[in-house]
């Protein structure tokens, strides 16, 4: 399929994991992908792998000036924005008794403040053409109340409700805003944290057995980012092998 032929897509957290998988899929289907990551070398490598006119941008999405420069670059090089996938996030492992306000703010600065900044600048560019698809990454942890990550769960709950509110704000411009809620997924980031020990327990809760991979999440994101999903907005889709059924 070439559902994104002629489309311009910004994907955050594109250097690895689910963000990299989404960026590659959109590129395979014809999009010019702006691969965004705080890891500039990783962003450039992702863009190079995608090929075509895709390019990488090093950006701290929690920095207002950096995000403004990012979208100025998108506007000057591409002239428009059709798809925005907000995947970048900090996934911590901190026990409640060790959770400081500094750590709380570190996570929310990226996971919520960064989401706002990306959606603010991205939707402003989309509105110029009265078209857009925004897909935000929430998490099924908001339904499970996963331990050792209270600030992460709070931030991802905010992603879901912010998505619903933004869908209302942008519907008049033919811009859809949806969220996906992945389960525990085997990514480079997860493998560097104690969360890697939880796959066995999570699998017991899943209707479909197995370990989630980034490529298992991609099809749902690609669909919501496509023209086919024009009548879907303000929704949250759990992509977790049926761990959460709601």
Look up the CATH number of the domain holding residue 228.
Answer: 3.40.50.720
Catalytic-residue membership of 173: no
The alpha carbon dihedral of 111, 115, 116, 117 has a sign of positive
Position 156 scores a pLDDT of 97
Q: Are 62 and 114 in contact (CB under 8 A)?
A: yes
Is the pTM higher than 0.85? The answer reads: yes
Question: Average pLDDT of 5-24?
Answer: 98
Q: 211 in the Ramachandran plot: left (φ > 0), alpha (ψ -120 to 50) or beta?
A: beta
Q: Quick check: is 207 in a domain?
A: no
Asked whether residue 169 carries a pLDDT value surpassing 90, the answer given is yes
**Distance separating alpha carbons of residues 17 and 185, to the nearest angstrom:** 9
In the chain, the number of structural domains is 1
Q: Quick check: is 60 in a domain?
A: yes
Per-residue pLDDT band at 246 (split at 50, 70, 90): confident
| Token digits of residue 215 | 């490529």
Q: Quick check: is 191 in a domain?
A: no
Q: Which of 116, 131, 152, 173 is catalytic?
A: 152
Position 78 scores a pLDDT of 98
Per-residue pLDDT band at 188 (split at 50, 70, 90): confident
**Distance separating alpha carbons of residues 200 and 192, to the nearest angstrom:** 17
Question: Average pLDDT of 82-110?
Answer: 97
Q: Quick check: is 177 in a domain?
A: yes
**Distance separating alpha carbons of residues 9 and 105, to the nearest angstrom:** 29
Cα–Cα distance list, 225 to 131, 136, 143, 191, 229 (Å):
11, 10, 24, 28, 7
Position 96 scores a pLDDT of 97
**Distance separating alpha carbons of residues 220 and 234, to the nearest angstrom:** 15
pLDDT digit string, tens, across residues 202-245: 999 999 999 999 999 999 999 999 999 999 999 999 999 999 98
Per-residue pLDDT band at 153 (split at 50, 70, 90): very high
Between vectors from CA 113 to CA 64 and to CA 80, what angle results, nearest 5°? 55
Tell me the percentage of the chain whose pLDDT exceeds 70: 100
Q: H helices of the chain, where?
A: 17-28, 40-50, 64-78, 101-108, 115-126, 141-144, 150-170, 188-191, 199-205, 214-224
- The range of the structural domain enclosing residue 153 comes to 8-182+220-238
């Amino acid at each position: 399929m070439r559902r994104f032929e002629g489309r311009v897509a910004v994907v955050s957290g594109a250097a690895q994991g689910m963000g990299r998988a989404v960026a590659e899929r959109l590129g395979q289907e014809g999009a010019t992908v702006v691969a965004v990551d705080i890891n500039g070398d990783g962003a450039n490598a992702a863009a190079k792998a995608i090929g075509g006119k895709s390019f990488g941008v090093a950006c701290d999405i929690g920095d207002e000036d950096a995000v403004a420069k990012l979208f100025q670059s998108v506007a000057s090089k591409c002239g428009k924005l059709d798809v925005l996938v907000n995947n970048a996030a900090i996934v911590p492992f901190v026990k409640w008794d060790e959770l400081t306000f500094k750590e709380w703010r570190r996570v929310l600065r990226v996971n919520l403040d960064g989401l706002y900044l990306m959606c603010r600048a991205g939707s402003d560019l989309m509105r110029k053409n009265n078209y857009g698809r925004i897909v935000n990454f929430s998490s099924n942890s908001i339904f499970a109340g996963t331990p050792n990550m209270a600030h992460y769960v709070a931030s991802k709950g905010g992603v879901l409700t912010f998505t619903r509110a933004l869908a209302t704000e942008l519907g008049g411009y033919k811009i859809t805003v949806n969220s996906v809620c992945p389960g525990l997924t085997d990514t480079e980031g997860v493998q560097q944290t104690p969360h890697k020990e939880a796959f066995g327990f999570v699998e017991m809760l899943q209707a479909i057995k197995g370990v989630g991979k980034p490529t298992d999440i991609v099809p749902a994101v690609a669909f919501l980012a496509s023209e086919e999903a024009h009548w879907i907005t303000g929704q949250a889709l759990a992509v977790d092998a049926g761990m959460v059924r709601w």
